[in-house]
Amino acid sequence: MTAATSASPRVRRPQQGLRRGEALAGWIFTLPVLIILGVFLLIPVLMALWVSFSDWSGRGSPLSPNVQFVGLENYAAITVDGGLPTRDFGTALRNNAWYVLLVVPLQTALALFLAVLVNRAILKGRGLFRTAFYFPSVTSSVAITVLWLFLFSATGVVNEILSWLGLNGPNWFQNPSGIIHNALASVGITTGPAFLTENDFLGLSWWDWLSGPSVAMSAFILMAVFTTSGTFMLLFIAALQNLSGEVQEAAMMDGANGWQRFWRITLPQLRPTLFTVLTLGLIGCWQVFDQIYTGTQGGPAKTTMTPAYLSYSSAFLDQDWGRGAAIAFILFAIVIVFATFQRWVLRDRPVSKRRIRQYQVVTRHPSPAAPEKEATR
């Protein structure tokens, strides 16, 4: 055996990780973006967090020695003190909770319906319908709000149409009564049971929490559904066009009708897009501000006030910057909690053992007496 053949071949081990210099190059290329995000996003957020724990009056720098650390006083003022700030925050939270509860499901369902409708191959002029449905989403929210104030005024178009049907429309943006309380009052129920009226949360009784959105907020709910469904429709259309038609054809051959194919096949495949739409809708609804600022500025009787608008009015109008920042961070925590819960609900679950057994092939083994019978034959 020669030395050449006896020598073991040199084995090159694959390099683990990045090559020399690639990590440095990556940091160099991303450094400008990191600096921009740090200067215009991270630092302002940290300063706002400090303001929520301080008594800053809005004059001078929030980092000056004259600004004192007050701990959780600003958060306590709007959550547990029981004064007017607590009641205002509870009112804003109730208004926004009903807004989210109605807008998110309605806009998601309408967007999905429109996407399925305009995605059908037999529909003529699909591009025209897509543009028409999406057009409200690209229109300025201020312009839409001004239009809505005109349409839903006491002598507006909406009440005129209702009068043709024999109905007396309300003075929409001046009516602070809750729609659930109005529905109960129509059947003679004007007050709630004692356990709802005598117990409160954030300065409001549970009976007030269950009043539903006010008539004025209901008009804003309709406006939100009208203006946002077109954007989410495009997301659903993009997802529908990426679905394979083979599964649909197999289901049709098995005798599944249209509703069964949609509920059992199409909708489960849209789960990632559904999560995106629900998350974006949830964040947008909890941050509603410009419609309220342009339209009613929290009125009538604070029934359209939202936490975002309350944060603005506390900081910029009342000059209580610490309380305004505290409201903003509580709102941020609410959005994170709801988004996390929504992700948990829409997570991919493992198939249960009961359903697995439905698709398992059962192998039947021949009985021991079978070979003996064959031999006797």
pLDDT string in tens for the chain (377-residue length): 454 454 555 555 545 555 667 888 888 899 999 999 999 999 999 999 999 999 998 888 898 989 999 999 999 999 998 899 999 999 999 999 999 999 999 999 999 999 988 887 666 777 788 888 888 888 889 999 999 999 999 889 999 999 999 888 899 999 999 999 999 999 999 898 999 999 999 999 999 999 999 999 999 999 999 999 999 999 999 998 888 777 777 777 877 777 888 888 888 889 899 999 999 999 999 999 999 999 999 989 999 999 999 999 999 999 999 999 999 999 999 999 998 988 888 777 776 667 666 666 555 555 555 555 555 55
The CA distances from residue 61 to 46, 48, 67, 207, in Å, are: 14, 12, 8, 44
Instruction: Output the pTM of the full model.
Output: 0.85
Query: What pLDDT was estimated at residue 344?
Result: 86
Query: What pLDDT was estimated at residue 120?
Result: 78
- CA dist 104 and 96 (Å) reads 12
Burial of 115 (0-12, 13-18, 19+ CB in 10 A): buried
Residue 185, φ and ψ in degrees, nearest 5: -65, -30
Counted residue by residue, the chain has a size of 377
Query: What pLDDT was estimated at residue 1?
Result: 46
- CA dist 343 and 367 (Å) reads 51
- Tell me the DSSP string of 306-349: -HHHHHHIIIIIS--HHHHHHHHHHHHHHHHHHHHHHHHHTSPP
Q: What token pair was written down for 194?
A: 């004692």
163-200 burial, b if ≥16 CB within 10 A, otherwise e? eeeeeebbebbebbbbbebeebeeeeeeebeeeeeeeb
266-301 burial, b if ≥16 CB within 10 A, otherwise e? beeebeebbbebbbbbbebbbbbeebbbbbbebbbe
Query: What pLDDT was estimated at residue 45?
Result: 93
Q: In the chain, what is the straight-line distance between the N-terminal and C-terminal CA atoms, in Å?
A: 67
Query: What pLDDT was estimated at residue 290?
Result: 92
Query: What pLDDT was estimated at residue 355?
Result: 66
- Asked whether 152 and 174 are in contact (CB, 8 A), the reply is no
Apex CA 220: angle with CA 219 and CA 222, to 5°? 65
Classify 240 as helix, strand or coil. Answer: helix
